Chains A and B, each alone.
Chain A
Amino acid sequence: MLQDGLRGALNQSALEPAGPQAAKVTHLWWFALAIATTVYLLTMGALWWAAHRARQRELRGEAAVGPEAEQGMTRGVTYSIAATIVILLIFLVTDLSVGRTLSPVPSKHPLTIELTGHQWWWEVTYADTSPHGRFTTANEIHVPVGEPVLFVLQAQDVIHSFWVPNLAGKKDLIPGYTQSMWFQADTAGLYRGQCAEFCGLQHAKMALHVVAESKADYQRWVDQQRGTAAIPTDSAARRGREIFLTGTCAMCHSIEGTSAGSHAGPDLTHLASRRTIAAGTLPNTRGALGGWVVDPQRIKPGVRMPPNMLKPQDLDALLTYLQSLK
């Protein structure tokens, strides 16, 4: 069912697939669950039945089961083991074949996104053959619906894991290694992912969002992201930019088109175009942004960003500027 627009509230379920990879795994899950439940109920049934028969025998005062019953027992156990082997082999063949169908990328020149894991945010770089086509953003990925996207995964510091359950299984980002995986979103919508390898103090709040949209919307977004930062028009925003560039912000953050070029923290060139801030922890509203700028340690204790004690009017100006960075 192709539906434009956003889907419902935050949904990170592996059982609600929106792409072929996750869909195959969901089918595998239901298949495995059906077989496992059946086998489990049969085994428990056998256990109950065995206890029941033994009790019956005792109540009726019958003699203990003699050696002639051993043959029957041997047959029963042998058939059960044989059935187990057959079922497990079916499992195995299914697993391996699903695995094989999921691995090759179904496209010669897929859209390629380089994802670098940091403690505790995601650096997203859209690759392009020409240098001016490349751009970097953070914690939010846009993909066109129905096209496979190839991810090149690297880590800056410790091991992270890229995982968007609605779309595909996870892959670890290991420092020193480059891994790749692909997925495809078949339904437009907003999908949430989360880091799935313990990476330190704020592993719990290292989320990202994948926005799957129509090709036109996607292209519009890409063109916007490729541009440099919006030039502030009013005095408050200009003052905000001055605070950004002359204060602590520019030491870690970059804004294309200004002198702020540090790659220690997330790129903020198009901050206002993102749905969330702080790696999916807060909505991108003025209030949340203000709270985050002033005291990020209250929201994510241990995060790399220090508190910034700004005067109220300076904070106001800064927020006006940041919110103008569409």
Chain B
Amino acid sequence: MSETIAAAPTVDPNGPYEAEIAELTRTYHSDAGRFWGWVTSVDHKSIGKRYIATCFVFFILAGLNAGVMRMQLARPENHIVGPDRYNQLFTVHGTAMMFLFAVPVMTAMATYLVPLMVGTKEVAYPRLNAFGYWTFLIGGLFLFAGLYSNTGPDTGWFAYTPLSGPEYAAGKRVDVWAQVVTFTEIAGLVAAVEMIVTIFKMRAPGMSLNRIPLYVWSILVVSFMIVFAMPSVAMASTMMLAMDRLVATHFFNRAEGGDPLLWQHLFWFFGHPEVYIMFIPGLGFVSAIIETFTKRKIFAYPVMVLALFVTGFVAFGLWVHHMFATPVPQLGRSLFTAASVLIAIPTGAQIFCWIATIWAGRPRYTTSMMFALGFIVVFTIGGMTGVMIASVPFDLQVHDTYFIVAHFHYVILGGVLFPLFGACYLYFPKITGRMMSETLGKWNFWLFFVGVNVTFFPMHLLGLDGMPRRVYTYLPEMGWGKLNLIATFGAVIIVSSVAVFLWNVISSWRGGAIAGPNPWGAPGLEWATSSPPPPWNFHPVPVVEGRAPLWEAGEELPVATGLATDRREVLITTALDAIPDNRHEHPGESHWPLVMAIAVGVTFIGAVWTPWAYVVGFAMSAVAFGGWGWPRGEHPADQVTDGVLPRSEAR
């Protein structure tokens, strides 16, 4: 440690640091005006907020698709939509929920929360973060523009070949799907890189690995999973399927040496980790919520962290369980059965640790806590059916039926939506400075809990009764009408629950009770700054001496001073023990991420029609990249002086 960084215990950073904070306000002020300032912003909080809001818009649109589907299926031989439209609806429902909502909302929440939780000012690469958002937005708009113009993909969210190949999927629908996947994979990889570097290199001093919050661990695991899983689907969809459809390659054409099963392997190698990528941050949220509302650190922290890693790792060994009906050898299927069964162990361990924490703590049943408990109740049902379908003979009866639909909706709604809502109620005060209404929150919770069960429990019975998936209608003689009607009724309840949630968000944003820095008395660093946080998050930098900093610090939170306030400076620390290592100036507002995203958009949207789009797009991207990386000569380069932490800046 050097002399210029001193730890001085203090409670209220605003007291002796007023002048520095005034200077920080000037440093972080953008001259670009409100609209362009917002567009060119690289503040992770600003990007996080718009990212979360965009994800919820896609959630609502995809939910409306599902609403129409449920209306169509409420009665046999219904005529609300025909097969063509229905196929587009269910494909876009799945694609939007999986690619545009479930994963991005988790990465968006992480974009907002992780720097605050680890006690730093920004993510590692602020401009890249902005680029990730714009790319995601372009991809999402492209998908819904497709649906709107009768060009929505119609071969299912996993688009099996040869149905999605050039011969059987006419027009540009599947090409739209392939490129939407590209955009979302780029955004996902961007988020993953951000999180890995931020979590490893930018933690507050003293936050060694064994003091990282469990939510941050979950994001770290998920980021590594994204890095390993997403290239598989990006390659399969953008390269291989798009090339088969555009330039007559034969990747999936058996007659010329390709293989339709190759698509399934490549897709599911991504697809199975994908569902864990959605679900593991949910586990992190549940830990944060239970810790806050039982006023007790989560029991057996090393077990919890290990469980996250084991889940993430084993998730890569499960993918063939989606393919049990294909010609995969029996030994192979047995191995994947074993992995699919055993992955329940780490999650089970986590649930037992949470139960132990609740037993030992002082639970308060706020809306947030109710959602965390609801997660345990609902997700476990999905987990049970998951272990059942790990078995090959049983799966061969229920594969591609409504039993599977029930299973994955239970694990997704239970494992992703419940923790997400809980996290929204927990972090809304931090993000907006206002409290959400607890009354509306309880309505939200109970409507959602009842709605999910009424909608999806009957689907188990429908699947066992022989109703396959992805059917736009069914014959009256099959006797499936009653259960389908009940499921549709449940869907209405879910819609009302989401409506209550939106109303709660909107009315609380303006008129909710003002929230202080730590309305819940929670232990994490994110609660050590104002609500909402200032653009620089923390000044001075907090220092961590335990796993629950705000509980352990008591009245006085130790801090480290000395970072410059006339520039946007962050503290880089070592990976294992978070010892300050150097200082880094991160870039301010920039329009280049948007320009780059537009270049990428032109490339991949154009590639739906012509391979020349890659050439044009490459040229545009080169220009954008040049502008982005152009050296700035205003500040002196890296300085290394004795007794002072080295200083670097973004190029």
- A32 and B381 contact, CB distance less than 8 A: no
For residues 16 through 68 of chain A, which have their beta carbon under 8 Å from a beta carbon of chain B? 21-22, 24-25, 28-29, 32-33, 36-37, 39-40, 43-44, 46-47, 49-51, 53-55, 57-58, 64-65
Interface of chain A, helix or strand or loop or mixed?
Answer: helix
Looking at A125-133, A158-166, A255-263, the stretch in contact with chain B turns out to be A158-166
Query: How near does chain B come to A226, taking the closest CB pair, in angstroms?
Result: 31
B578 within 8 A of A: no
Looking at A88-96, A214-222, A235-243, A306-314, the stretch in contact with chain B turns out to be A88-96
- B334 and A99 contact, CB distance less than 8 A: yes
Nearest B-chain residue to A14, judged by Cβ = B397
B392 within 8 A of A: yes
B437 within 8 A of A: no
Looking at B114-122, B344-352, B449-457, the stretch in contact with chain A turns out to be B344-352
Q: Mark A266-295, 1 if CB is under 8 A from B, else 0.
A: 000000000000000100000000000000
- B400 and A196 contact, CB distance less than 8 A: yes
- B475 and A10 contact, CB distance less than 8 A: yes
- A76 and B168 contact, CB distance less than 8 A: no
Given A36-B388, A196-B400, A197-B160, A202–B360 Cβ distance below 8 Å? no
Q: Mark B356-392, 1 if CB is under 8 A from A, else 0.
A: 1011111100000000010011001100110110111
- B348 and A81 contact, CB distance less than 8 A: yes
Residues of B with C-beta under 8 A to A73: 299-300, 356, 359-360
Residues of B with C-beta under 8 A to A95: 337, 341, 390-394
- A98 and B391 contact, CB distance less than 8 A: yes
Given A14-B397, A40-B381, A200–B362 Cβ distance below 8 Å? no
Nearest A-chain residue to B253, judged by Cβ = A176
Of A9, A14, A22, the contact of B477 (CB 8 Å cutoff): A9
- Alpha-carbon gap, A12 to B461, bound state (A): 12
- Alpha-carbon gap, A47 to B381, bound state (A): 14
Looking at A106-114, A134-142, A167-175, A318-326, the stretch in contact with chain B turns out to be A167-175
- A32 and B84 contact, CB distance less than 8 A: no
- Alpha-carbon gap, A171 to B82, bound state (A): 28
Residues of A with C-beta under 8 A to B535: none
Nearest B-chain residue to A102, judged by Cβ = B393
Given A170-B399, A172-B326, A196-B400, A51–B363 Cβ distance below 8 Å? yes
The winner among A44, A58, A76, A95 for most chain B CB atoms within 10 A is A95
Of A12, A58, A171, the contact of B396 (CB 8 Å cutoff): A171
- Alpha-carbon gap, A54 to B365, bound state (A): 12
- Alpha-carbon gap, A172 to B381, bound state (A): 28
- A12 and B360 contact, CB distance less than 8 A: no
- A84 and B348 contact, CB distance less than 8 A: yes
Nearest B-chain residue to A44, judged by Cβ = B377
- A58 and B362 contact, CB distance less than 8 A: yes
Nearest B-chain residue to A299, judged by Cβ = B77
- Alpha-carbon gap, A175 to B167, bound state (A): 13
Residues of A with C-beta under 8 A to B84: 201, 301-302
- Alpha-carbon gap, A64 to B457, bound state (A): 39
B469 within 8 A of A: yes
Query: How near does chain A come to B419, taking the closest CB pair, in angstroms?
Result: 16
B265 within 8 A of A: no
Query: How near does chain A come to B505, taking the closest CB pair, in angstroms?
Result: 28
Residues of B with C-beta under 8 A to A53: 359
- B352 and A25 contact, CB distance less than 8 A: no
A157 within 8 A of B: yes
B22 within 8 A of A: no
Given A32-B388, A201-B83, A84–B345 Cβ distance below 8 Å? yes
Given A165-B466, A169-B396, A170-B399, A204–B474 Cβ distance below 8 Å? yes
- B351 and A169 contact, CB distance less than 8 A: no
Residues of B with C-beta under 8 A to A103: 330
- A55 and B465 contact, CB distance less than 8 A: no
Given A99-B392, A159-B260, A200-B168, A88–B384 Cβ distance below 8 Å? no
For residues 301 through 340 of chain B, which have their beta carbon under 8 Å from a beta carbon of chain A? 303, 325-327, 330, 333-334, 337-338
Residues of B with C-beta under 8 A to A65: 296, 359-361
Q: Mark B276-298, 1 if CB is under 8 A from A, else 0.
A: 00000000000000000011100
A74 within 8 A of B: yes
B7 within 8 A of A: no
A13 within 8 A of B: yes
Residues of A with C-beta under 8 A to B337: 92, 95-96, 99
Residues of A with C-beta under 8 A to B465: 12-15
A85 within 8 A of B: yes
Of B155, B345, B401, the contact of A81 (CB 8 Å cutoff): B345
For residues 450 through 502 of chain B, which have their beta carbon under 8 Å from a beta carbon of chain A? 464-475, 477-479
Residues of A with C-beta under 8 A to B327: 172, 174, 177, 179
Residues of A with C-beta under 8 A to B464: 13-15, 29
- A54 and B397 contact, CB distance less than 8 A: no
Query: How near does chain A come to B396, taking the closest CB pair, in angstroms?
Result: 3
Of A15, A28, A203, the contact of B391 (CB 8 Å cutoff): A28
- A158 and B396 contact, CB distance less than 8 A: no
- B325 and A158 contact, CB distance less than 8 A: no
Residues of B with C-beta under 8 A to A119: 168
- B341 and A91 contact, CB distance less than 8 A: yes
- A74 and B348 contact, CB distance less than 8 A: no
A188 within 8 A of B: no
Residues of A with C-beta under 8 A to B399: 161, 169-170, 196
Query: How near does chain A come to B548, taking the closest CB pair, in angstroms?
Result: 14
Query: How near does chain A come to B626, taking the closest CB pair, in angstroms?
Result: 45
Residues of A with C-beta under 8 A to B156: 198
- B341 and A54 contact, CB distance less than 8 A: no
Residues of B with C-beta under 8 A to A170: 325, 396-397, 399-400
- A169 and B393 contact, CB distance less than 8 A: yes
The winner among A24, A76, A81 for most chain B CB atoms within 10 A is A81
- B83 and A301 contact, CB distance less than 8 A: yes
Query: How near does chain B come to A178, taking the closest CB pair, in angstroms?
Result: 9
Given A51-B363, A54-B294, A176-B255, A14–B398 Cβ distance below 8 Å? yes
Nearest B-chain residue to A282, judged by Cβ = B475
- A55 and B387 contact, CB distance less than 8 A: no
Query: How near does chain B come to A53, taking the closest CB pair, in angstroms?
Result: 6
Query: How near does chain B come to A202, taking the closest CB pair, in angstroms?
Result: 7
Interface residues of B (CB under 8 A from A): 82-84, 87, 155-156, 160, 162-163, 167-168, 254-255, 259-261, 294-296, 299-300, 303, 325-327, 330, 333-334, 337-338, 341-342, 344-345, 348-349, 351-353, 355-356, 358-363, 373, 376-377, 380-381, 384-385, 387-388, 390-401, 464-475, 477-479
Apart from the given pairs A54-B363, A65-B359, 7 other A-B contacts in the complex at a CB distance below 8 Å: A40-B384, A77-B300, A158-B168, A165-B397, A169-B396, A196-B399, A204-B468
10 cross-chain CB contacts under 8 A: A12-B467, A32-B388, A36-B385, A47-B358, A84-B344, A159-B260, A171-B396, A175-B260, A198-B160, A198-B400
Closest 7 CB pairs of A and B: A169-B396, A176-B254, A12-B466, A95-B391, A204-B471, A50-B359, A65-B360
Interface residues of A (CB under 8 A from B): 9-15, 21-22, 24-25, 28-29, 32-33, 36-37, 39-40, 43-44, 46-47, 49-51, 53-55, 57-58, 64-65, 69-70, 73-74, 76-77, 80-81, 84-85, 88, 91-92, 94-96, 98-100, 102-103, 119, 157-159, 161, 163, 165, 168-172, 174-177, 179, 192, 194-205, 281, 301-302
